[in-house]
Amino acid sequence: MIRKFVVRVNGKEYVVEVEELGAQVQQSVQVSQPTQPVQSTQQVAAGPTQQMQRTSAPSTTPTTPTVPTTPTAPSSSGTSAGAKIVAPMSGVILKILVGEGQKVEYGQKVLILEAMKMENDIVADKPGVIKKILVKEGDNVDTGQIMIELE
């Protein structure tokens, strides 16, 4: 028997198929995205000794760079032209603590991001002036997403 489910994760929809076959149980999961489908298959044989076989299609989705959660040392020039503050993890913007045109210092809190039921202070990793705020309170952000541009 094949059963289909629609799963929503961070506002994106995925179609999942689960199939059950006789004495052997085979679960086949197909995740479809507009850009790249990913397939995972898992088989479990019934009997006194259980065997598990898992195969996965290699992921061809681009990986996002790891973003440090602690600020780096300020640049020697004192200001940073075109610096960006990016989300270190996926989450929801709880509060924006700065405004456009405001001067920020190295290590100053600029917004609060909630991820996994924890509040995370996001700080400026370089001094500068807020050029543009690209998010608003209540927005969902993904890892590596640009939230604030500095000049």
* DSSP code, position 61: S
Q: What is the pLDDT of residue 84?
A: 93
Q: Are residues 47 and 90 in the same domain?
A: no
CATH code of the domain in which 140 resides = 2.40.50.100
Backbone angles phi, psi at 118, to 5 degrees: -125, 140
Q: What is the pLDDT of residue 87?
A: 94
Q: Are residues 44 and 88 in the same domain?
A: no
Q: Quick check: is 74 in a domain?
A: no
User: Would you say residue 48 has pLDDT above 90?
Assistant: no
Condensed to tens digits (0 to 9), the pLDDT of residues 56-93 reads 444 444 444 444 444 444 444 444 457 999 999 999 99
pTM for this model (two decimals):
0.47
Taking residue 2's Cβ as centre, other Cβ atoms within 10 Å add up to 9
Q: What is the pLDDT of residue 5?
A: 80
User: Would you say residue 29 has pLDDT above 60?
Assistant: no
Q: Please provide the average confidence, as pLDDT, over all residues in the chain.
A: 73
Q: Quick check: is 40 in a domain?
A: yes
Q: How many domains does the chain have?
A: 2
Question: Are the C-beta atoms of residues 37 and 30 closer than 8 Å to each other?
Answer: yes
Distance CA 35, CA 118 (A): 31
Distance CA 126, CA 104 (A): 8
Q: Which domain holds residue 50?
A: 2-56
Q: What is the pLDDT of residue 32?
A: 54
Q: Are residues 88 and 50 in the same domain?
A: no
If one compares 44 and 9, the residue with the highest pLDDT of the two is: 9
Please report which confidence band the pLDDT of residue 108 belongs to, taking 50, 70 and 90 as the band edges: very high
Nearest to 151 by CA among 85, 93, 86, 87: 85
Q: Are residues 94 and 52 in the same domain?
A: no
Q: Quick check: is 66 in a domain?
A: no
Q: What is the pLDDT of residue 3?
A: 81
